[in-house]
A and B are shown apart, each in its own frame.
Chain A
Amino acid sequence: MTTPKNGLLLIAYTNFTINYGALAVLAAKLAKRHMNNIHVTLMTDERTYRELLDNGPSNFRTAFDNIIVENLDHETNIRLHHDTPWYQFNTQFSNKNKHTIFQKSPYQKTLMIDVDYLIGNDDLLKIFDTDYGLALFKNAISARNHAPRMQEQKLNEHGIDMWWSTVVYWDKDSPEAEIFFNVWEHVKENYNYYKFLYKFPGALYRTDFAASIAIHLLNGQNGNVVVNQLPGKVMRYSDQMDDIIKVHDSNDMVLLCPIPATPWKCTVNRIKKENIHVMNKLSILRNYETLMEMAEQ
């Protein structure tokens, strides 16, 4: 079967704590259900692939149309995760080769989504009908309808805008896209220098920051004329402290959202027919069977 011109790309490198392979299967199934059976490629490593073969969901072969398996040694990158306000843990976050998606994608026009970005409608299909070379989300809104924390709007208080690398669209023929991914790689290789230059804290390598710096450099360090925003312009996300408490359908769920300053106080929010970046991956895994059953309907 020939590879179509347009498709969805997922990246999954599992670790001992979070089963990214299983998350990828669910993300693919949801995308296929809500994005008109879109062609899906999984980019993964041998360990995750073996894990999927041995212990993965039984339907994993029907989730992907194409699987790219690589033999990779991931660089150490430890990330602090929260699962509700009451539990936190550190685990490996293998994201340092995310910029290589440009070369590895089999599609002419690729939409890459993180495996914790749950598709609930077909809004993003509209991007394939454009002649945009590159598009990402710059703005986001939480499940509580609040703006993200300051460090997720700008790299520092007086710094450049942060662009989210959760969803990235590009056209392989676009010279801007190729340069963007090359600059992203350059920033990754000189991350400590750019951390000092752009004055952002933390030891974790964040692809959002690397992509944002690449966009800033690509624009001559002034404004933005190179990168387009994805349809809708606002990415919905739920915080790591939020928890999925009820699933009504594959695109209809209820979230319990603590108020960060007073986490014992919560609001409930029902998200329907939206794409949502669920940062609390364990909460997806807790509701995995229900979500999968509904994604398969």
Chain B
Amino acid sequence: MDKKLAEALEFSNYRLTINNQKQNLKLRMHTMCIVGYANSIFNATPELIAFVKLIIDSGNTQYVFLDSNENPVLVTDLNDFYSRLLGAYTSAINEYYTELIKLNQVRSVAEIVG
């Protein structure tokens, strides 16, 4: 096979594998953002975190939120809820960042497979 073509195919395989690994990291990050709270399951998204902060800053002491299955849930300790959401999101995004840096330094499929 032509050397240039062989190199192109190898690079294509490498990109495909890298892309799959990135998808895996993203999925892992999303599952790390799951927070069990008030007998329900929430996804710690930047939107929810910002909304909870807004509700706190508006002087509310309790509020009804939709959980990840769209069930309405009354949260009575907003500050605790906020810190749980932010904590989960921070751990998830930090792990995603660290793992992605490691992945970006990998230069071959063999290195990914380990």
The residues of A with any CB-CB pair to B shorter than 8 Å are 121, 123, 126-127, 129-132, 141, 144-145, 228-229, 231-234, 236, 245-246, 248, 254, 267-274
Contact = CB atoms under 8 A, between A and B. Distances in A.
B61 interface: no
Contacts of A228: 41, 69, 71
Contact of B41 (A126, A270, A274): A126
Contacts of B21: 269-270
B105 to A, nearest CB: 15
B75 to A, nearest CB: 14
B24 A232 contact: no
Contacts of B114: 246, 248, 254, 270
Contacts of A131: 39-40
A288 B15 CA distance: 31
Interface of B: 13, 16-17, 20-21, 23-24, 27-28, 30-31, 34-36, 39-41, 68-69, 71, 109, 112-114
Contacts of B35: 126
Nearest to B34: A231
A257 to B, nearest CB: 9
A126 B36 contact: yes
Contact of A270 (B24, B34, B40): B24
B24 A269 contact: yes
B41 A231 contact: yes
B39 A234 contact: no
A231 B31 contact: yes
A145 B20 contact: yes
Contacts of A141: 27
Contacts of B112: 268, 270
A120 to B, nearest CB: 10
B41 A130 contact: yes
B17 A233 contact: no
Given A123-B34, A126-B36, A229-B68, A272 B16 contact: no
A232 B31 contact: yes
B35 to A, nearest CB: 8
